[in-house]
Amino acid sequence: MSILVTGGTGYIGSHTVVELLEYGKDVIIIDDLSNSKIEVLDSIKEITNKTPKFYQINYLDKEKIRKVFKEHDIETVINFAGFKAVGESVAKPLMYYHNNIGGAINLLEVMQEFGVKNFIFSSSATVYGDPKVTPITEECEVGGTTNPYGTSKFMIEKILKDLYNSDNSWNICILRYFNPVGAHQSGLIGENPNGIPNNLMPYITKVANGELEILSVYGNDYSTKDGTGVRDYIHVVDLAKGHIKAMEKLEKEKSGLYIYNLGTGTGYSVLEIIENFQKVNNVKVNYKIVERRPGDIAICYTNPDKALNELEWKAEKGIEDMCRDSWNYINNNK
């Protein structure tokens, strides 16, 4: 039996593949390499001394997905594949809806055809929109998304709920990530987006190593501790381990639909991240305060209790690990 991981050469996907291989699972990756590199497979091999099967497939190509199901005995599918740049999604909504939702539907239809019902979905805290209360629990209202990327995640969650209501033999776990940062301690896999990073931590690392000149801090007039945005940053290895716990939950329950927030429960402001990064790595991060970024919210962090109580999972790594491992990865991969 194998675990099929879509987007498995990507940032969170590759870290999860490492954990799955070290857990002893047989892993098959499908990825179109649109936002990742084939060399990640070598890094996974170097870390685990194992090589997952790899198919360069876009999950919109249903026939090729079907072929993988025909050739392998798949027990569970973890779906990381999808476009994830918030700003790009505002400019190209059709591309985001077509790829993210169309790809997920393709995958689920082929799973249904082959009687594979265990599905773990990579969702996002962005489905909460601008939360009315913090910390956020899984019972908080969803759907107030402010960009097509977030809306695509919300719509796939809706599809999964309707699918489960139509057929209770499905066994689905929706994982809502907060802000993934950091890298595997080996420095062999991590986050290295193409072009100018959208997200805070990859931008900070490129300013610290001189690739970019200065960090723009998007607003310091939010009602937060120092006026800058507060987020729940979670180490990507903790996030990957959360997927192992979700897989074990599905193995235990056999059917159901389960939703968990994966975050630390602690919020840090932008200025606190900069301060921690400089202290831990003994580097300088030049920054300037500029206008707010459209669509940004002030505060977003989770109440992590449900994942602890039901998955026996909680984040173990702190902000220092996140800053140190992010910097280590970038220096290992200049």
Nearer to ligand WQD, 26 or 296 (CB): 296
Residue 301 binds ligand WQD, judged by CB under 6 A: no
Q: Indicate if 260 belongs to the active site.
A: no
**Could you say whether residue 217 binds ligand WQD (CB under 6 A)?**
yes
Q: Does 307 participate in binding ligand WQD (rule CB under 6 A)?
A: no
**Integer CA distances (angstroms), 35 to 8, 51, 82, 166, 192, in order:** 11, 20, 9, 34, 9
Q: Alpha-carbon torsion 214, 216, 217, 221, what sign?
A: positive
Q: Is 231 in the site for ligand WQD (CB under 6 A)?
A: yes
- Residue 131 or residue 229: which is nearer to ligand WQD going by CB? 229
Q: Please, what is the minimum distance in Å from the beta carbon of residue 130 to ligand WQD?
A: 11
Question: Is 86 one of the binding residues for ligand WQD (CB under 6 A)?
Answer: yes
Q: Which of 17-25, 199-207, 276-284, 322-330 is the region at the interface with ligand WQD (rule: CB under 6 A)?
A: 199-207
Residue with tokens 């799973």: 111
139 to 121, 150, 260, 268, 303: CA distances (angstroms): 18, 18, 10, 23, 11
CA pair distance 13, 276, nearest whole angstrom:
26
Q: Which of residues 123-142 bind ligand WQD (CB under 6 A)?
A: 124, 126
Three-class SS state of 80: coil
Question: Which residue, 15 or 84, has its beta carbon nearer to ligand WQD?
Answer: 84
Q: Which of 149, 164, 222, 268 is catalytic?
A: 149
Give the nearer residue to ligand WQD in terms of CB position, either 84 or 117.
Answer: 84
Question: Distances from the Cα of 6 to the Cαs of 80, 127, 129, 151, 198, in angstroms?
Answer: 5, 21, 26, 20, 22
Say whether residue 270 binds ligand WQD (CB under 6 A). Answer: yes
Number of shown-chain residues binding ligand WQD (CB under 6 A): 18
Q: Report the Cα 2 to chain-centroid distance in Å.
A: 21
The DSSP secondary structure of 251-278, one letter per residue, reads HHHSSEEEEEEES-S--EEHHHHHHHHH
257 binds ligand WQD (CB under 6 A): no
Q: Under the criterion CB under 6 A, does residue 206 sit at the interface with ligand WQD?
A: no
What is the spatial distance between Cα 321 and Cα 182, in angstroms, rounded to a whole number? 7
Residue 239 makes contact with ligand WQD by CB under 6 A: no
Which residue number, 252 or 288, has a Cβ lying nearer to ligand WQD? 288
Sequence letter at residue 56: Q
Contacting residue, 160, 200, 207, 330, with ligand WQD by CB under 6 A? 200
145 vs 171 by CB, closer to ligand WQD: 145
- Sole residue written with tokens 């962090």: 301
Closest residue by Cα to residue 160 from 274, 41, 257: 257
Q: Which of 26, 296, 305, 310 lies at the binding interface for ligand WQD (CB under 6 A)?
A: 296
Binding ligand WQD (rule: CB under 6 A), the pick from 186, 199, 278, 332 is 199
Contacts of 68 (CB under 8 A, 6+ apart): 4, 28, 30, 55, 57, 74
Q: Which residues in 123-144 are b (16+ Cβ under 10 Å) and which e?
A: bbbbbbbebeebbbebebebeb
Least distance CB 299 / ligand WQD (angstroms):
9
Q: Which residues bind ligand WQD (CB under 6 A)?
A: 84, 86, 124, 126, 179, 198-200, 203, 215-218, 229, 231, 270, 293, 296
The catalytic residues are 149
